[in-house]
Chain A
Amino acid sequence: MKTEERIEQCLRAAPKPSAPDGLVSKLRNDVSLREVETRESALRRFFAPSGERISHWRVAAAAAIAVAVLLPLSYGATKLIKRFVAISQLPAITYDGYGGALSPDGKHFAGVLWNSRLVVIDTSTGEQRNLAENCHGPVVWSADGTEIAVISFDRERKETLLAVSSKTGKTRTLIENTPWLQDWSTDGRFISAVRTPKMGVHSAVMVDLEDKKETVLAENTGVLPSPNFSPKGGMVSYVTSEGGRTILHLQSIDGTSHVKYTDFPGEINQPIWSPDGSHLVFTGTQRGIDREYKDLWALRVQGNQFAGTPFPVVPDVGKVQFCNWSQNGQLAYRTGFELGGIFTLPVDLQTGKATGPPRQLVRGGGQHCWSPDGKQIAVSQGGELTFISAGSGEKIRKLSLAEIEYIGRGMSWSPDGKRIAFCGSDREKRTGVFLITAETGGVKLLVPLEVRIPNVDPTWAPDSKTIAYGYKGDVYVANIEDGKPRRITSPREERDYKDAERPVFAPDGKSVAYMAGGGRVLATTIDGQETKLLFQLKNDKIVNIFDWSPDGRHIVFTPGDKEIWCAPTDGGEPFQVAELPEGDEIQAHAWLPKWSPAGDSIAFTVSREKYQYWVMENFLPPAEASGR
């Protein structure tokens, strides 16, 4: 039974306090009644003032007032309202997932929650229906609102594009091995999408759903190309970046015409078509203006050409992420902010129990790791590696990570203090495990990896000569001298788990522990010869990510919510160590726990996100809009 059903059942079955014995007789004594007079409604009194027959004259007068006064008034009011930009929140949408889109009639909102469920939410009541499991990424409604296109993944992480019935949840396959969905043409025949073979390398593509033929619109676009179909069909728009300038493209689907707008003096992001196809609207930041926030711009489209130049329509829209523009004229978007930071929790090494409340050390911050002496924590923040005092949170020094474009999950400081290992990709689009020299900041790619998003959790051996990392479901170790990797997990056909993920070197350096699904943490010796079960969760928690205590007696893990748990490695029962305080945030979770070298503290990251969904209407100027 689902948790919420259990809660509802429990509430409905709440016991009823019994009334005291003498109460009913006391209440009986209070009963005093008087005879009720018959009353007439105001409407009746108006139409039948004499109290008998309805007056025909009065009915006719009421009708005349309605026609002569009320109708023009309402018509004028509607016209008046249409002259103003209408911006309103969708209060019923407390959706905490990625992407999301309004149905063509604006009455529903579909999206994939973080737990991979595709849901449809009623925009007026907030009522939510589950449609499908194991989905991710953006969603797109079909033009008639009967289906929702979404990417589904299976156990092998194979991605299939599905069309899911918005009423029944029934699915049909559109494409196997799908690219990242962006848009679905009005006639239902094409999808536009983005392929990202490497971190930061994008191609805009279009797939014909009839013959499954994929056409590349633009390769290595430099920015997220956001390919979208014009509502009337026939055209597709997308963005590229060339020589530091973003270029807006308008191309016919059959390839017979292709025009570019190259003169926008700044960045063009997420161009989206107005429902009537008359304009492309985008968020833009003009060069030379020192501000983070963006304005909303529009550019008219006539036939297969751009008409005129972009003009600003709404200033300072902030950090908005467009969802979609529904056929009923509502541009839906998400706005919000992310909070959080690095926290530390004092613990007793012997018992693994907390000895005090968690304390925020620094705001923001992503990946982090302890220095070998436990006095500092290195934190990745805004293109820099910041070293902060583990006691006070005070910033000690910084190293630039200007060569690095993306830092993935997992950061580890070598026990000899010389290097910090992390994973990610650099500006040359090389992806893999990198080492940064802790003193000088020199960066070196140790193990190049072919992976779309490098989250490989590098972890140091105690001798500082070897690192382990997880890659495509296996755990590898690599010597730092030559960077040559060696797989230590058994071949897939010989093991009873699917993926080995998020490895952590054992404190004695003899083995590497990793998550093996089903709440299991296994440990394999570095020669790959022996694997043992380190612990297995028997409660309903999941192991999201973990770390080993320095004495090897405990494992700290986060289940992906507000809690931090600890499990003895000798088979004892896991227990909760700490919980984040309750707040209004839609999402707040603790993760990336890292046990300090001295064992007296656990550092962890808290992510908090709060988003709101809004719609904007009537923001294109009337003169422009009338040209449609």
Chain B
Amino acid sequence: MVHDKVLEQIESDDLAVFAVWMPVLESDNAEAGKKAEPLLSDPRVAHYWDPDTSLGKLYGRQLTLPRGRELAWDIYFVYAPGVRWKDELPAPTAWMHQLGRDERLLNGDTLRATILELLGIEDSSAEPGSPWHLKRSVRGLPLF
């Protein structure tokens, strides 16, 4: 989804992607993480392996996840330019997930539009007058 909706449709080098692979399912391990890299094959993507799911746990403490989950995974965080990671994990500018059905449920078009908006690029796929265009104009994005 990220590959099709974001990497293929947004060519800007002003986008950097951090793919953090972590062991969640029984079949997950470092080797599987390495094998998964081609799923997000792009020079703008840096791949990481999180053996302790430490990043997922941190986000899980910072955010309210669906169904009371404590581990953040299958989750997508967008950060605007200027946001720095200092002593604390920075709050995302926007985020989506696939952990349950709510207003933040991942939608590839919304994710792409959110990123385009932060890049200052007009979304050519959003037709004026369409519901999606209205959503954008009122900033109806699931911001943090």
Q: Is B truly associated with A?
A: no
Chain A interface residues toward B at CB < 8 A: none
